[in-house]
Structure 1
Amino acid sequence: MTTGELGRDVEHADADRRWMHGGVLLGLGLGGFFDGIVIHQLLQWHHMLSAVYPHDTPGNLRANTLADGLFHLVAYLFTLLGTALLWSGLRGRHPAWPTSAFVGTLLFGFGLFNVVEGLIDHQILGIHHVRPGPYQLAYDIGFLIWGAAMLLVGWGLMRNARAANG
């Protein structure tokens, strides 16, 4: 292997890492947006701090709205950073990756969001639950299972694509 070939291999590996990390960060952002838009706003099952500050007073609702806004800001930053890394990793000359690899990165990131958010916010800190009420634990566990399933399917798709691309 010549020095030029080795340099291209290192460059390709670096580009692969950037786009894969970018896809995972984009998936994290999309997971956050899905949670914030669907569960917080459309279904109105909870807000970011609803177990700590029930949204039954104007002051508590303001605190939850601010926390939800900061949560969306973080999701937006993950999305921007993921898009930038994805773009930088896909530029230049390198072997094409299959669509399944890209879908895998998104699923991995989305699932990672659900597992981490579900464990930290729902179980460890208890600052909110997916859907408070008589089946609260079932909703929280279902959220974790859904996230773990996406995480595993995404990891499998990424692994298969990486094996196929060498």
Structure 2
Amino acid sequence: MDAPPHARSFPVSAGILFGLGLGGFFDGIILHQVLQWHHMLSSWYPVNNLRNLELNTLWDGIFHSATYVFVILGLYILWRAAHRSHLAWSNTMLAGTLLIGFGLFNCVEGLIDHHLLGVHHVNEQAPHSHWLYWDVGFLVWGAAMLAAGWRVLRAGRRDMAAAAGGPGA
């Protein structure tokens, strides 16, 4: 006897949460720590003295903690789904949901932190007159991942529906 369709569905929310977490880790590790282009509050509190560096480091840690929670939640949802009998797995849908989550992170973080609040900008090491280009590029990159993820997810749903003999997504 086959499991009901809702019990076989791919855990989309798990992939999106993993993508959000991975997007945050990429931003925090690569842009904050390795390249040191910005920190969490570096537009409001420039890293030009020890007190501001300590404040930015604290908020970088809070930021990393939030992205860690996304990954833990994604893992929890995936773990629960993996214990269902006859779960339908799809590498294509996983890739699509990861791209959606990563792109969603870039779009939300870029709009809120870079444009609305102005707490930091993507590359504060570049001349100030170029900051907007980096910030817009970050949004375009996020939107491209979001769009690509959506297309890949739809393709995965169509593939799974075809394999199950049902209509496409």
TM-score, normalisation: structure 1:
0.89
Q: Does 1:121 align with 2:113?
A: yes
Matching residue of 1:165: 160
Identity of counterpart residues, as a percentage? 51
TM-superposition CA deviations, 1:87-137 (whole Å, max 9, x none) = 222332235333111111111100000000000000011110001223101
Structure 1 stretches of 4+ moved >6 Å: none
Amino acid at match of 1:125: L
* Cα distance in structure 1, aligned partners of 2:86 and 2:147: 27
* Cα distance in structure 1, aligned partners of 2:99 and 2:5: 27
Matching residue of 1:153: 148
TM-superposition CA deviations, 1:29-55 (whole Å, max 9, x none) = 000000000000000000000000111
* Cα distance in structure 1, aligned partners of 2:112 and 2:147: 19
Query: Is the contact made by 2:110 and 2:135 (CA closer than 8 Å) also made in structure 1?
Result: yes
* Cα distance in structure 1, aligned partners of 2:6 and 2:88: 16
- From 10, 20, 43, give the equivalent of 2:35: 43
- From 12, 27, 40, give the equivalent of 1:20: 12
- From 135, 138, 141, give the equivalent of 2:130: 135
* Cα distance in structure 2, aligned partners of 1:91 and 1:157: 25
Query: Is the contact made by 2:7 and 2:87 (CA closer than 8 Å) also made in structure 1?
Result: no
Q: How does 1:22-101 map to 2 (within 5 A)?
A: 22-94=14-86, 96-101=88-93
* Cα distance in structure 2, aligned partners of 1:23 and 1:86: 8
RMSD of aligned residue pairs (Cα, Å): 1.6
TM-score, normalisation: structure 2:
0.87
Q: Name whichever of 82-91 and 135-144 sits farther off.
A: 82-91
Matching residue of 2:100: 108
Name stretches of at least 5 consecutive residues in structure 2 with no aligned partner.
162-169
Query: Is the contact made by 2:8 and 2:88 (CA closer than 8 Å) also made in structure 1?
Result: no
Matching residue of 1:9: 5
Q: Name whichever of 87-96 and 68-77 sits farther off.
A: 87-96
- Equivalenced residues, count: 158
* Cα distance in structure 1, aligned partners of 2:5 and 2:147: 28
Name stretches of at least 5 consecutive residues in structure 1 with no aligned partner.
none
Amino acid at match of 1:23: G
